[in-house]
A and B are shown apart, each in its own frame.
Chain A
């Protein structure tokens, strides 16, 4: 008898929402500076709409079969299972590096200038292997603690910046080129990687409702909008010239003589990236039907470390690994194209049997 733990879909979506929010924590010149605040909000809305659309195929599969894509694929031939497994493994590995690389970069540039990015990556990945080994259920439970930390950090970060707010009427104008707007939409659509995670873990979530992903995406949008608002009006021009603007926001936040919110920001960033990579490694193992296998998880973590090591010394590799467009194309394939393919295929087979 196989014992399988299923957890509430609310908890899974809360965890995914926290994963999505970490995108804005690690932003580095990603939001086009030439866009006005209004257009930034518009591009945010469009980007998150794409993100919500990415959830729909997984929702369709979940409603039809009650499971996820991988359980549907497991009924197919071995060759097909392997092919889909390899595709998702490459995707999840890429997504892990998409977060690991900027995190290590930010950490070593802004927080510990003496630290080696490879050592930071190694230690973080080692911890992620342990978390992935413990499974998605434990990670989603961890998400509740991270939610509390995120709330606290946000209150400190935004509350501490209120006194610095200076409203610039020009920021509300509709200014910025179409190219910048498209780049903005592209960047704000990166949270759609959570839809790909949902494609793999939907089978473990119970009591699912369509409003859950909608609320998760809406809350992500709210967090993004607040960060953009405070960066634009509390830090202003100074932030535009700095790397990792959210870090800058946390550094300028203060309550009288009390400052040092950046340590909370660092804690939130570390825990968020830890959770994302653990969840991605978890999905990666699941795509090969090897959930809970420590050697398997560790081998992919080693692969991620090697790729990170290469990226640390080679800028062109680093650019590929941190390209939001590439991640979005990959995410749309993983969360929309492949699930829809299987959805229509199973519909066709069902109608043929009928």
Chain B
């Protein structure tokens, strides 16, 4: 590489296709030798004011006397830019090479170069706007920290490091995305993690051939085990640093993607979908009660409409007499068969839910009124749908929010089970359950069986599955996730 600044400028302009946000500012240093330096940044990525006050003004004020270019660079590196004000920036390094230069400036560093000197200095003066640390809306807790991950990678790393002040905690940097060059941090506890799982994860990230990685969701498909069911996710997502830290102690690996507050946690097990941060803050008996409630809600949200349609259509004798009379009375006034009715009500509910998520808040009330009064009450009074079907569909819909991470598979399964129950009755539901169970039983997450602790069964792990044991009991033996891995390579 040519060491002249003009050559460097032309290379950078070519590489950035004359992009308007590439900024190269020349400054003349106070020296007898007429030394020219340049500050290379990307507009909007650095805090210009702080950079000018702390670094550039200091550089301009310094008298380099009769130093030549190389001596001036060393003075800059060890004296001027090494002052306490500058080192308060998030990063400081000397380097050489155009690729490294591009890497630094696209990450928000300011790079100082001197005409005729190959080496350069990068100063981490990131000054782009980002959202402050706030409570994540999707994981609200009653007791516990109100902090959630933010978009910048370093902020997220610090949130974890603040909670685990142990050198055992490792952050390992990798890059993904051919064009976006997104920084990704693998975070794990060296003493807890399984090297086999870690190697598997590194390999999968290496095989990620995406051009851009703009959110952690882009990577989840690459981290899922191949040839396993995709209905339930084998990759966990959390926006809470306390949740991530808890998972790390169990031997899991967190994948922090720059620019997104959603941190990936692998391996993910089915039972984790029912565990929440509040479970560990509440009293044991109440946490266990909530856990049981969650499991029941999960089953109700999938099976209730399907059982209702199957029983109403094929086995009305199983209804108690008073319910049978009321249901038959209600169903006899509606034009659609009960299966179509249940499917229609569930479908309309999903449409309303999607609309509610996307419309402006000011219109939310209007949609609620339309949904509750027009579609609900009017449809029942007009005899288009039966009140019992509406009640069953509403109960199932409410229950599906109790385990919100499982909402997508639960919704799809609910539709499937209603259809099967309506066509084949209870037998169809049993057969469909067998299929779903086989699919879940064959699913793995980084080689760890997805249904671990239930199947394969682990009595010790049961302390934190259907009920939550006391902390005295839980702290005795921390169960590492790799203990569940059964795969033996031959």
Contact = CB atoms under 8 A, between A and B. Distances in A.
Interface in A4-57: 4-8, 11
Interface string B7-44: 00000000000000000000000000000000000000
Contacts of B435: 127, 130-131
B442 A138 contact: yes
Nearest to A144: B455
B130 interface: no
A6 B457 contact: no
Given A7-B486, A130-B438, A142 B431 contact: no
A contact residues, range: 35 or more
Contacts of B314: 112
Interface of A: 1-8, 11, 107, 111-112, 120, 123-124, 127, 130-131, 134-135, 137-139, 141-142, 144-145, 260, 263, 266-267, 270-271, 274, 278
A191 to B, nearest CB: 22
A141 B488 contact: no
Contacts of B455: 141-142, 144-145
Nearest to B435: A127
Nearest to B489: A3
Given A134-B439, A266-B430, 19 more contacts: A5-B487, A5-B488, A7-B456, A120-B427, A123-B424, A124-B431, A130-B435, A131-B438, A134-B438, A135-B442, A142-B434, A142-B437, A145-B437, A145-B441, A145-B455, A260-B317, A263-B315, A271-B434, A274-B434
Given A263-B315, A267-B430, A270-B434, A6 B441 contact: no
Given A263-B318, A274-B431, A142 B426 contact: no
A271 B430 contact: yes
Contacts of B489: 1-4
A4 B486 contact: no
Contacts of B454: 144
Most chain B beta carbons < 10 A, residue from A6, A130, A145, A271: A145
A10 to B, nearest CB: 9
A271 B430 CA distance: 7
18 contacts: A1-B490, A5-B486, A5-B488, A7-B486, A112-B425, A124-B431, A127-B431, A130-B438, A134-B442, A138-B438, A141-B441, A141-B449, A144-B455, A144-B456, A263-B315, A263-B318, A263-B426, A267-B430
Interface string B392-431: 0000000000000000000000000000000011110011
A6 B427 contact: no
Interface SS of chain A: helix
Contacts of A266: 426-427, 430
Given A1-B489, A270-B434, A134 B441 contact: yes
B265 interface: no
A68 B461 CA distance: 32
B451 interface: yes
A329 B435 CA distance: 33
B445 to A, nearest CB: 14
Given A5-B488, A6-B488, A11 B456 contact: yes
Nearest to B228: A134
Nearest to A257: B320
Given A5-B487, A260-B318, A270 B437 contact: no
A2 B490 contact: yes
Contacts of B487: 3, 5
B488 A270 contact: no
B439 A270 contact: no
Nearest to B318: A260
A139 B438 contact: yes
Contacts of A107: 427
A271 B434 CA distance: 7
Contacts of B439: 130, 134
> Which 10 pairs, one residue from A and one from B, show the smallest C-beta to C-beta distance?
A138-B442, A141-B441, A134-B442, A144-B455, A141-B455, A138-B441, A131-B438, A267-B430, A270-B430, A142-B441
A124 B430 CA distance: 11
